[in-house]
A = this chain, B = another copy of it.
């Protein structure tokens, strides 16, 4: 830092595309700090260093940072300053903020510089100073790209580009530069395996009115992909050429999404062009699944449902007689579930790291079992399993909470409250124009009435054979301005988390559909996509109202209808019992 005249150095968790999940190559923050959580930002000054992370990781970060001299900044706590304020305060008058501009979000750096406004601060973003210290840095993961055909995507690359170009006309821009990997995968109907759990390719895209260029490493292009790009009139340039080509762009009006483009791109383009900040046009388009994508997604959910129901069956059989068989660890659960998914045609990989949390571990919302420190399932406790699959047909995300043996009534009461909220949200009818913020209370109300809340959103968007977390919509108490539009897939996952005791989450995926249109407007409703029994052993059906019983019974009836044709006679018998009317 001294050599480069840098006063404060900023190290986020992201890759060059500001992805939520990143490849090992990009874990510079973990390398520097020792903190291995998925979200956290390291801020290094000449004297000391601080790591900002959120409530999911306080305990883990405290442990991993011990003795490092790095101060833990607990985001969301009242005494913790906002990160941009903290960094802006830290930089001295006339000072220099260093960062690898390629991994820093434009929005954050612009905000820090604005907050440090009076101090004549500048950013030095050309060098990855931290990464350069990393001798054993893993290389970039570059897998082969693969093509989805129109029967899978329902829309050609040209049609998608036409829609994006329309948006460029509306925003009076000549060029759009996309850096988000899932947006690029969606636009070009390509997938890859460059990021674990996310079937994307490391790439950038530059879209003009009459030209579209995809920047992707040469070695990723199979002849099929090359031919596909040619046929779609998409120019290909090597990944490494991207920043060099940026320098040649001049006199243009350029649409950039400041949350989804890195600071290096922004600064390179800003010099000789006019920047129009606007949400990536593909963000909203990608979120609204078309009928072909939806048909595929429904197929993925049936396959995933069969795997999950088989797992459920196996779990119940294996834990029926406590003490008789081998003990099951959380890791055994993860492996077994994965083995059932692998049996399914079209299965590719998990859509995220499976959470299998027994007893009190489930109170940690993002717990992940550690094979080296096995935790075993105990009778009388709950087991929370949150997992998902990437199928050739689509992406799934599902949570069920299982009773291991006979579970105490208070826990089953909590699980019943969660179930009430989950069913109520799924059954909502609402006017077109509302956002997830308007509906969030439907899932929380039964818990709030009992003085319980969960410190997370209720639902997130999910991609089509893409990322398991996808915007722009969201169901949460905090304001999300995105109207719920037809075809948006969203999770419905209320929960109860009681520290040192238990954790419960029940999660289905929903898709927004049109309902009645009349003089009052267009009404909307949800269709449930997930078909997996809800473990009745973990709830108290007598606490459900008549309406809630109807919802549960209707759901289980559909689950049986969808899954039973794909099951053996024995499994079917079990499924009938576990989807019976309450």
Contacts and interface: CB of A to CB of B under 8 A. Distances in A.
A453 B521 contact: yes
Nearest to A433: B477
Interface in A157-203: none
A523 B438 contact: no
Contacts of A319: none
Interface residues of A, number: 33
Interface stretch (A250-258, A385-393, A441-449): A441-449
Interface in A515-540: 515-516, 518-521, 523
A340 interface: no
Interface stretch (A235-243, A424-432, A568-576): A424-432
A576 to B, nearest CB: 30
A516 B440 CA distance: 21
Contacts of A438: 437-438, 440-441, 477
A292 interface: no
Nearest to A435: B479
A481 interface: yes
A442 B440 contact: no
B449 A431 contact: no
A294 to B, nearest CB: 23
A64 interface: no
A523 B445 CA distance: 12
A276 interface: no
Given A437-B438, A442-B445, A520 B479 contact: no
Nearest to A517: B451
A82 interface: no
B545 A477 contact: no
A523 B519 CA distance: 38
Contact of A439 (B441, B451, B479): B441
A118 to B, nearest CB: 14
Nearest to A496: B520
Given A440-B438, A441-B439, A477-B433, A448 B523 contact: yes
A515 B518 CA distance: 40
Contacts of A444: 431
A229 to B, nearest CB: 40
Contact of A449 (B429, B445, B453): B429
A433 B439 CA distance: 16
Interface of A is mostly: mixed
A271 interface: no
B442 A430 contact: no
Interface in A460-479: 477, 479
Nearest to A441: B438
A14 B295 CA distance: 55
Contacts of A442: 441, 445
A441 B433 CA distance: 13
A545 B520 CA distance: 25
Interface in A382-434: 428-431, 433-434
A438 B546 CA distance: 26
A547 interface: yes
A444 to B, nearest CB: 8
Contacts of A453: 431, 520-521
B477 A479 contact: no
A223 to B, nearest CB: 50
Nearest to A546: B545
A504 to B, nearest CB: 14
Contacts of A520: 451-453
A162 to B, nearest CB: 24
Nearest to A518: B451
B430 A516 contact: no
- Nearest 3 pairs of A and B residues by beta carbon: A453-B520, A451-B516, A429-B449
26 contacts: A428-B441, A429-B445, A429-B448, A429-B449, A429-B451, A431-B448, A431-B477, A433-B477, A434-B441, A437-B437, A437-B438, A437-B479, A438-B440, A438-B477, A439-B441, A441-B442, A442-B445, A448-B523, A451-B515, A451-B518, A451-B523, A452-B520, A499-B519, A545-B545, A545-B546, A545-B547
Interface of A: 428-431, 433-434, 437-442, 444-445, 448-449, 451-453, 477, 479, 481, 499, 515-516, 518-521, 523, 545-547
Given A434-B477, A441-B442, A451-B523, 5 more contacts: A428-B441, A434-B441, A438-B477, A448-B523, A479-B481
